[in-house]
C-alpha cells in the first residue's frame, strides 16, 4: 500500500515538473542516442543506444509475459512509407528469475543497443519517426518514452522530447505495476448539473495527471489480490467509490453555511471579489495548461495522506483515493473550479453543489471501476504520449474563455460597462479562432510533440471549433446567439442595446413617453426596477403586476428572457397585458442611510438595493430562487402560485394566461 502511494506521488511530481525543469534534472536513469545507417538504396538500419545508470535494469522486448513491461517500438509514419524487416536486434542481455511474478525476466544493465532494419517503399518520404517505450527498475520503476526522428536523406537522427510516464514507488521484489426544495433553489435543472459535471469528470481522466494512473491502479488491485479476483475487483471499485465520497464531502461545509444564511449562495454568486478570484484562477490555470509553468499542491498534504494509507484495508484504500485526488490537482483543479464557479454563480444551493461534486467524482472514478470489472478492456486504451499534452492545451483554451465569464459577472454586478456584449463576444471569437488554428496544426505550444499529420479526431475537433467561431461572429451585430444564452452578457448590456444600426430603438415602442421609474428592458419591454413605482403605475393603468426577481449575473434569468420571453405570445403579454417589475437581487447600489435596516428574517443588515429586494422576496414569498415570477393583483395578493425557472414555453404561457384570467374576474 505504501509503495503504491509513493508511486502515485512520484508520477505526479514528474508530470507537474517536467514542463518546466530541464531534462537533465528529471529522474532519467536511461540516456538514449540514435543514428541511421544506409545499407542500400532502399535498406536502412536504425540504431538505438541506451546508457543505463548503475543498479538500474531496462527490460528487453522479449522479457517473459507476466513480469516487468517489455521494451516497445512504435513507428508513427510507417504506413505507405517503409516496412519493418523483422524485430529489432538486441545486444547481449541478462536473465534472472523473479520470485514474486514467477517468471524469468530478460533485461540489460549499463548499456543496450538495438538495431531495427527497414525497407523504404515511398522514395518521396525521408523521415522516420520512432517512439521507444520502456520500463526501467531499481527499487522503483519508471516507464519512459523517447521519440526519435531519422532523416534518411542526410543520415541524421535527433531526439524529440515527449511526455514521459513516471511510475515509481513500488519495490520490484514484492509488488508489480500494474437539491433543495422548490422554494429554496433556483430551479437549475439538476440533470443538467449532474451530466455536465459527470462529463467534466470524465474529461479530466484524459489529462497527463490521471490517464496513466488508470491501468496502473487497476492492475495494482488485481495483481495484489491475484489469489482472489473478486476481492481485487471489489477493492478497485471501492477505490472509485471513495473518490466520489471525497468530492461530495468537499461540498458539506456549504450545507452548514446555507443553514446559517439562506442567502449565502446568492451572495457568493454575485460577489465581485469572488468572481474576480475565479477569473484570476482560470487565467492562471489556462497559462499553466499552455505550458508556461505547473501548479502543484504542497507535498506535505500528499505525504500525510500517504502515511494514513498504511492502516491498510478499506481505510487504506480510502486514503489512496485521497492521495490520487491531491496529486492530480494540477489537472483536476480547473475542472473543479468550473464546477464550483458554475453552481455557485447559478445560486444552485448546497444540494446542487453536492450533486455537481457527486457527478464530477463519479466521472473521474468511472474508468477505474469499469476497467476493474472488465480488465480486458484496458487493451483498448490508447497509449500515453504527446496527445495528452494536446488535450491539456485544448483545456487551456476553454479555461481562458470561461475566465472571461467570471470577469463579465463582476462587470455586470458593478455595472461598469467595461465588458459589454460585443467585447465579450470578440474575446471568445479570438480564443476559439486561436484554438481552431492550434488544432489544425498552424502553431504549437512549448511541450507539444511534432504533428506529422492531423488525426481524424483532431481534425473533427478543429472543424467543431471553427463552426462555433463562425457562429459567434453575427453576435457582434446583434444576433441573439441563443445557444449562448445565460453565458453572454444580456442584449441590453451592449453598445447597441436596441440592435445594430438602431433598428430596435425606442421608436419601435410607438414613441410612448416612458413613465418615471420605467425603462426599456429586454425585447423592448417596458419595466420598472422599483416595486412602489411599478405598483403605482399598475393601479393607474389597471393591469396586473408581474414581479420578476432576477439578477444581473443570473444565468437562468437570461435563459428565460432569451428563450421563453422571446416567444411572440409570451412577449405580447409582457408588453401589453401586465406591468413588469424587475427586482435585481444582486444590485450593489447602496441604500440611503435612512432606508437601511436589520432584516427580521435573516438578521443581516440590509444596506443595498439588491439586499432589500432579496429580503423582500424571502420575507413575503419564502423563496430566494432566481428567477422567480409572481403575478399579483392590485391589492398585492397573488393571482396564482409563483413559478421559478420554467423553460417550457407552453407551461410558462399557461401560467401567464391563468393569472390574467383571474385578474379579469
Q: What is the pLDDT of residue 18?
A: 37
Query: Where does residue 313 rank: exposed (0-12), middle (13-18), buried (19+ CB within 10 A)?
Result: exposed
Q: What is the pLDDT of residue 201?
A: 86
**Over the stretch 200-210, which tens digit does the pLDDT of each residue have?**
888 888 877 78
DSSP conformation class of 40:
S
Highest mean pLDDT among 183-197, 383-397, 592-606, 650-664: 650-664
The whole-angstrom separation of Cα 643 and Cα 652 is 9
Mean per-residue pLDDT over the chain, rounded: 79
Residue 283 has pLDDT above 60, yes or no: yes
Greatest distance between any 2 Cα atoms in the chain: 100
For the record, the C-alpha cell of 393 comes out as 492545451
Give residue for cell 479555461.
399
| Distance between start and end Cα atoms, the chain | 74
More confident residue, 507 or 477: 477
Do 397 and 432 contact (CB within 8 A), yes or no? yes
Do 586 and 409 contact (CB within 8 A), yes or no? no
Q: What is the pLDDT averaged over residues 551-558?
A: 85
Do 580 and 526 contact (CB within 8 A), yes or no? yes
Least confident of 63-67, 92-96, 344-348, 355-359: 344-348
For the record, the C-alpha cell of 212 comes out as 496513466
DSSP conformation class of 534:
H
Within 10 angstroms of residue 459's Cβ, the number of other Cβ atoms is 14
Q: What is the pLDDT of residue 111?
A: 93
Q: What is the pLDDT averaged over residues 4-10?
A: 39
Give residue for cell 422554494.
183
Least confident of 178-182, 434-438, 519-523, 623-627: 178-182
Query: Where does residue 596 rank: exposed (0-12), middle (13-18), buried (19+ CB within 10 A)?
Result: middle
Within 10 angstroms of residue 242's Cβ, the number of other Cβ atoms is 22
Sheet holding 111-120: strands in order across?
A: 30-38, 43-52, 111-120, 82-90
From residue 206, give the alpha-carbon distance in Å to each of 195, 203, 393, 503, 650.
17, 6, 12, 48, 41
Do 36 and 45 contact (CB within 8 A), yes or no? yes
In order of start, what are the domains of the chain with their CATH numbers?
27-161 (2.60.40.1250), 191-386 (no CATH), 420-498 (no CATH), 509-664 (3.40.30.10)
**Over the stretch 121-171, which tens digit does the pLDDT of each residue have?**
988 888 898 888 888 887 666 777 788 888 888 888 877 644 333 333 333
3-state secondary structure of 206: coil
Split at pLDDT 50, 70, 90, the class of 377 is confident
The whole-angstrom separation of Cα 486 and Cα 320 is 39
The whole-angstrom separation of Cα 414 and Cα 155 is 64
pTM, rounded to two decimals: 0.56
Strand pairing report for 156-161 and 579-584: unpaired
Do 541 and 528 contact (CB within 8 A), yes or no? no
- 151's enclosing H/E stretch is strand 141-151
Do 336 and 282 contact (CB within 8 A), yes or no? no
More confident residue, 289 or 379: 289
The whole-angstrom separation of Cα 100 and Cα 172 is 8
Highest mean pLDDT among 46-50, 80-84, 158-162, 362-366: 46-50
3-state secondary structure of 420: coil
For the chain, counts of helices (H) and of strands (E):
18, 18
Least confident of 136-150, 215-229, 235-249, 263-277: 215-229
Q: What is the pLDDT of residue 107?
A: 92
DSSP conformation class of 449:
P
Amino acid at each position: 500500500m505504501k509503495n503504491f502511494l509513493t508511486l502515485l506521488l512520484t508520477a505526479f511530481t514528474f508530470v507537474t515538473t517536467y514542463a518546466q525543469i530541464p531534462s537533465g534534472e528529471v529522474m532519467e536513469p536511461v540516456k538514449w542516442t540514435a543514428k541511421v545507417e544506409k545499407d542500400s538504396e532502399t535498406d536502412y538500419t536504425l540504431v538505438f543506444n541506451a546508457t543505463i545508470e548503475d543498479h538500474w535494469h531496462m527490460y528487453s522486448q522479449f522479457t517473459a509475459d507476466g513480469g516487468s513491461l517489455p521494451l516497445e517500438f512504435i513507428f508513427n509514419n510507417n504506413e505507405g512509407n517503409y516496412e519493418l524487416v523483422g524485430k529489432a536486434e538486441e545486444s547481449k542481455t541478462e536473465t534472472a528469475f523473479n520470485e514474486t511474478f514467477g517468471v524469468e525476466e530478460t533485461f540489460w544493465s549499463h548499456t543496450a543497443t538495438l538495431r531495427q532494419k527497414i525497407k523504404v517503399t515511398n522514395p518521396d518520404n525521408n523521415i522516420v519517426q520512432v517512439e521507444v517505450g520502456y520500463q526501467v527498475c531499481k527499487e522503483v520503476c519508471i516507464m519512459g518514452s523517447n521519440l526519435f526522428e531519422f532523416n534518411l536523406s542526410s543520415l541524421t537522427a535527433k531526439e524529440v522530447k515527449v511526455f514521459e510516464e513516471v511510475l515509481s514507488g513500488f519495490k520490484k521484489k514484492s509488488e508489480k505495476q500494474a437539491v433543495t426544495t422548490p422554494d429554496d433553489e433556483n430551479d437549475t435543472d439538476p440533470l443538467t448539473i449532474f451530466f455536465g459535471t459527470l462529463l467534466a469528470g470524465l474529461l479530466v481522466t484524459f489529462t497527463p495527471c490521471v490517464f496513466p494512473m488508470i491501468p496502473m491502479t487497476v492492475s495494482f488491485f488485481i495483481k495484489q489480490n491475484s489469489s482472489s479476483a473478486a476481492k481485487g475487483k471489489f477493492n478497485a471499485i471501492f477505490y472509485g467509490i471513495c473518490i466520489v465520497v471525497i468530492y461530495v464531502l468537499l461540498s458539506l461545509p456549504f450545507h452548514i453555511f446555507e443553514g446559517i444564511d439562506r442567502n449565502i449562495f446568492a451572495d457568493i454568486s454575485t460577489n465581485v471579489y469572488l468572481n474576480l478570484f475565479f477569473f484570476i484562477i482560470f487565467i492562471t490555470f489556462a497559462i499553466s495548461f499552455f505550458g508556461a509553468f505547473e501548479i502543484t499542491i504542497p507535498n506535505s498534504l500528499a505525504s500525510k495522506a500517504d502515511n494514513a494509507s498504511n492502516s491498510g484495508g478499506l481505510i487504506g484504500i480510502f486514503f489512496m483515493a485521497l492521495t490520487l485526488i491531491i496529486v492530480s490537482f494540477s489537472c483536476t483543479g480547473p475542472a473543479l473550479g468550473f464546477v464550483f464557479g458554475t453552481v455557485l454563480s447559478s445560486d444552485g444551493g448546497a444540494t446542487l453543489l453536492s450533486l455537481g461534486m457527486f457527478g464530477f467524482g463519479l466521472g473521474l472514478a468511472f474508468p477505474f471501476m469499469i476497467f476493474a470489472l472488465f480488465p480486458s478492456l484496458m487493451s483498448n486504451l490508447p497509449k500515453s504520449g504527446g496527445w495528452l499534452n494536446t488535450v491539456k492545451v485544448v483545456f487551456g483554451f476553454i479555461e481562458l474563455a470561461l475566465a472571461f465569464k467570471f470577469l463579465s459577472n463582476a462587470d455586470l454586478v458593478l455595472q461598469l460597462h467595461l465588458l459589454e456584449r460585443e467585447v465579450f463576444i470578440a474575446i471568445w471569437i479570438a480564443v476559439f479562432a486561436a484554438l481552431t488554428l492550434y488544432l489544425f496544426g498552424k502553431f504549437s505550444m512549448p511541450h507539444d510533440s511534432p504533428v506529422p499529420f492531423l488525426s481524424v479526431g483532431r481534425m473533427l475537433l478543429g472543424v467543431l471549433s471553427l463552426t462555433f467561431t463562425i457562429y459567434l461572429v453575427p453576435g457582434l451585430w446583434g444576433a441573439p446567439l441563443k445557444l449562448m444564452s445565460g453565458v453572454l452578457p444580456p442584449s441590453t448590456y451592449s453598445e447597441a442595446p436596441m440592435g445594430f444600426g438602431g433598428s430596435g430603438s425606442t421608436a419601435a415602442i410607438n414613441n410612448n413617453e416612458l413613465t418615471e421609474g420605467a425603462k426599456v428592458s429586454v425585447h423592448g419591454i417596458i419595466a420598472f426596477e422599483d416595486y412602489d413605482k411599478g405598483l403605482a403605475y399598475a393601479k393607474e393603468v389597471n393591469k396586473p403586476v408581474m414581479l420578476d426577481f432576477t439578477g444581473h449575473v443570473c444565468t437562468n434569468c437570461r435563459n428565460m428572457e432569451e428563450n421563453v420571453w422571446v416567444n411572440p405570445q409570451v412577449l405580447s403579454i409582457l408588453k401589453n397585458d401586465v406591468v413588469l417589475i424587475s427586482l435585481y437581487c444582486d444590485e450593489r447600489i447602496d441604500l440611503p442611510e435612512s432606508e437601511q435596516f436589520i432584516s427580521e428574517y435573516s438578521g443581516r443588515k440590509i444596506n443595498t438595493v439588491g439586499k432589500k429586494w432579496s429580503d423582500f422576496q424571502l420575507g413575503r414569498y419564502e423563496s430566494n430562487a432566481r428567477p422567480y415570477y409572481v403575478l399579483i393583483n392590485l391589492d398585492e395578493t397573488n393571482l396564482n402560485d409563483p413559478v421559478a425557472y420554467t423553460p417550457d414555453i407552453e407551461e410558462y404561457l399557461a401560467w401567464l394566461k391563468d393569472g390574467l384570467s383571474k385578474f379579469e374576474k
